[in-house]
Amino acid sequence: MPNAATPEEPKSGHRIAKLLARAGVASRREIERMIADGRVAIDGKPVETPATIIASLNGVTVDGNPVAAPEPARLFLYHKPSGLLVTERDPAGRRTIYDQLPRDLPRLMPVGRLDLNTEGLLLLTTDGELKRQLELPSTGVERAYRARAYGQVMQAQLEALIEGVEIEGVRYGSINANLERRTGANVWVEMILTEGKNREVRRVLEFLGLRVSRLIRTRYGPFLLGELKPGEIGEVRQHDVIGFRRDPTKGPSPERVERGPRLGTERGGRPANGGRADKTRQASSSVMAPSAAKPSRPPRRKPSRPGDAEPPRPAKPSRGRTSPTPGAKPARPSRRGRRPGDARPSRPRS
């Protein structure tokens, strides 16, 4: 096998599990299971360890099918609605994100997980190494959430989470939490963290005495939920993906993404209404998503204040004769009585 080398030999390539993950075959963990099951082979001979070093994927097969060379990593932003599972299939028959995604997309792997009732930004990629880079806590990629919860909490309690907290023997790292606003008996809390452990946000807020009723992920690293609507998916531009891989903690925000069809699409990515999928470009230059522009309202008429000129009043219709001169104001007979100091009217002589 000229293409393979044992782990003890000098490395002149990469581990086979890494290359297969980069080619989008599966995640690295799944590939390790596939190798253990004897499904991966080099020149017809099953691979014994995922640490096997190879220079390329030439001669590598999975289930007897040749593996193509890896293409450039692609990254998609998906607005996951509430009520969908982030898994390929569910034994209980519940709906998953793959039941709703357009059928003409490449094979996509989710970056991390969102709970069944959690909504918001979910990253999907074709590259297993990019997936791993985004998920590892050591990379330091931030995740931002907005949570609506029932109960009362003080800002000082949230600020104490910056030092981390231990709950039932599980240690959670530093969390940057802020109280956004109160709405009746509910509060809105923004939380930024880098670990992303299972149900971390919900457990930490429950530890503070809050009951979460809605949870939305708004940001993952520099990638924003932005104006993507529930069920809509967009692709990050290639140069933004490259910029992120060079510096995961300070990667640029994606200025534009290709927005694809929303939920309710037929096979082939066509909208269910029979029309063509509308592709637009979404601009985003800041770290947090820009707020939508509000429609302009007509200016309100301010009440007059002392010193303001009195606005002109509309002319009243005349009750007397009409003036013969066009545009002239008709004369109005005076009905007021004579006041003290007025001169007496002269009487005509007979």
Dist. CA 51–CA 233, nearest whole Å: 35
In the sheet that holds 65-66, the strands lie side by side as 45-46, 40-42, 60-62, 65-66
Q: What are the backbone dihedrals phi and psi of residue 22, each rounded to the nearest 5 degrees, phi first?
A: -65, -30
pLDDT score recorded for residue 312: 52
Structure confidence at residue 21 as a pLDDT band (50, 70, 90): confident
- Helices (H) then strands (E): counts for the chain: 6, 19
Which residues neighbour 339 within 8 Å (Cβ) at sequence distance 6 or greater?
none
Residue 67 · residue 25 · CB < 8 Å: yes
Dist. CA 256–CA 338, nearest whole Å: 81
What's the Cα-to-Cα distance from 102 to each of 81, 87, 261, 269, rounded to whole Å? Answer: 15, 16, 7, 5
Structure confidence at residue 157 as a pLDDT band (50, 70, 90): very high
pLDDT of 309 above 50: no
pLDDT of 313 above 80: no
Average pLDDT on 119-130 reads 92
Average pLDDT on 60-76 reads 88
Dist. CA 196–CA 200, nearest whole Å: 6
Q: Quick one: which of 95, 80, 100, 23 has its CA closest to 57?
A: 23
Give the active site residue among 63, 115, 240, 278: 115
pLDDT of 109 above 70: yes
Average pLDDT on 148-177 reads 94
Residue 115: active-site member: yes
pLDDT of 223 above 90: yes
Residue 130 · residue 119 · CB < 8 Å: no
